[in-house]
Structure 1
């Protein structure tokens, strides 16, 4: 069985999960513990970053490389067009989504946690004591913003990321106004990349991810709840309803992630 080394809240891992589900491939999720788990992953595969796909003795890193590998090895339900114009458009959008929605989305998500007390608390599991939730919520936004400045997540960087995402979401909404998919008449890597990477902008409402129940259908305030972008998120959610396998708690494919074992 295919094994996906991942972080559950990684948009790039979600991009691969969506591709695997679209192709109908069975796989086991292995949650990599940040830090020590990444060292073990490096020992196994030569890579510290997730996602990494294991297929037999073969390890493939990077979500784009995994997509190309899966389309070569498992050609049923292809996701990369062969017609030159459609192929070019698909690859262009996929690369843009990785660099724009993926990276800016991460910054905007961190910014929302820093600036919005209620959103910060909402990502905590339900079994976290109220006292600890109060402590997390009480951390001043200014302090969190100051901490983020040194690692590229300061207020200016977050503001710029949000502006970029607003333009991205407007563009996607306009492109999808009168067409079912971003490229051609069938889902492609472009659609699956954009849909998966938009996960942390607004979490899908269905039971697809191991996230707190209160987060499902919610996302970054000012983006996830803006009516102008509702057509895009409705399109994304229809794609999920058609192709993403919901969690059932039975079987390895859609069970809770198994943590990587450390020797």
Structure 2
């Protein structure tokens, strides 16, 4: 069985999970605990970031490389068009999604966590003591902003990312206005990249991710709850309903052995 070394909240991991589910491939999720130390996965794959797919003795890092590998090795239910123009658009949109939903989405999420105390505490598991929730919620956003500025995650960078994402979401709504998928009548890698990476903007309501219940259906204020972008998120949720396997009854169960620990960059 395929094994996916992943982080449950990673939008790049979700991109891969969507593709695996669409292709109907059985896989086992192995949750990776962020941390330091000598790591078996790093030694075998040469990769610190998740996701990493293991197929037999082969380790494939990077969500794009995993997608291309799955298309070559498991060609049923193809996700890359064969005609040159559509293939070119598909690969370009996938790359764009990695940078837009991926990189800018992470910045916008951190910005929302800095500004919104309720949103910040919604990421905490329900069994966290109330005193811890209070402390996390009470942490001043300006302190987090100062800390983030040192690593390119300051307030200006986050505002710029959010503004850019608004334009991206508007563009996606227009692209989907007259077709069921981004490139026509069939889903492609572009659709799964955009849909999977968008979970960082708004988490799906269904039982697809092992996340706190209060996060389901919610996301970055100003993006997730903006009526202008509802057509996009409605499309995303339909794609999930059609192709994503829910946690219950899914073959993609977490591994029962001790999770590996790697650095999440």
TM-score bin (small chain): over 0.9
3-state DSSP class of the match of 1:184?
A: coil
**Partner deviation per Cα, 1:89-122 (whole Å, 9 max, x = no partner):** 1011001000111100000011111110000011
| Unmatched runs of 5 consecutive residues or more in structure 1 | none
Structure 2 CA distance, aligned partners of 1:38 and 1:98? 29
Structure 2 CA distance, aligned partners of 1:99 and 1:261? 27
Give 2:149's aligned residue: 149
Give 2:67's aligned residue: 67
- Asked whether the equivalents of residues 29 and 252 of structure 1 are also in contact (C-alpha less than 8 Å), the reply is no
Structure 2 CA distance, aligned partners of 1:236 and 1:15? 12
- Using the TM superposition, give the Cα deviation of residue 44 of structure 1 relative to its aligned residue in structure 2, in angstroms: 2.1
- Using the TM superposition, give the Cα deviation of residue 260 of structure 1 relative to its aligned residue in structure 2, in angstroms: 2.3
3-state DSSP class of the match of 1:204?
A: coil
Structure 1 CA distance, aligned partners of 2:62 and 2:228? 32
Larger RCO (CA within 8 A; separation ≥ 6): 2
- Using the TM superposition, give the Cα deviation of residue 251 of structure 1 relative to its aligned residue in structure 2, in angstroms: 6.1
Give 2:259's aligned residue: 260
How large is the RMSD of aligned CA atoms in angstroms? Answer: 1.5
Is 1:194 equivalent to 2:194 in the alignment? yes
- Using the TM superposition, give the Cα deviation of residue 184 of structure 1 relative to its aligned residue in structure 2, in angstroms: 2.4
Give 2:49's aligned residue: 49
- Using the TM superposition, give the Cα deviation of residue 256 of structure 1 relative to its aligned residue in structure 2, in angstroms: 7.4
Q: How many corresponding residue pairs?
A: 261
3-state DSSP class of the match of 1:159?
A: helix
**Partner deviation per Cα, 1:181-207 (whole Å, 9 max, x = no partner):** 001210000000000000010000000
Q: Given the two structures, how large is their TM-score scaled by the length of structure 1?
A: 0.96
Structure 1 CA distance, aligned partners of 2:260 and 2:229? 41
Give 1:107's aligned residue: 107
Structure 1 CA distance, aligned partners of 2:103 and 2:37? 23
Distance 1:251 1:240, change over 3 A: closer
3-state DSSP class of the match of 1:178?
A: coil
Distance 1:37 1:238, change over 3 A: farther
- Using the TM superposition, give the Cα deviation of residue 35 of structure 1 relative to its aligned residue in structure 2, in angstroms: 2.1
Structure 2 CA distance, aligned partners of 1:218 and 1:256? 28
3-state DSSP class of the match of 1:162?
A: helix
**Partner deviation per Cα, 1:202-224 (whole Å, 9 max, x = no partner):** 00000000100010000000000
3-state DSSP class of the match of 1:123?
A: coil
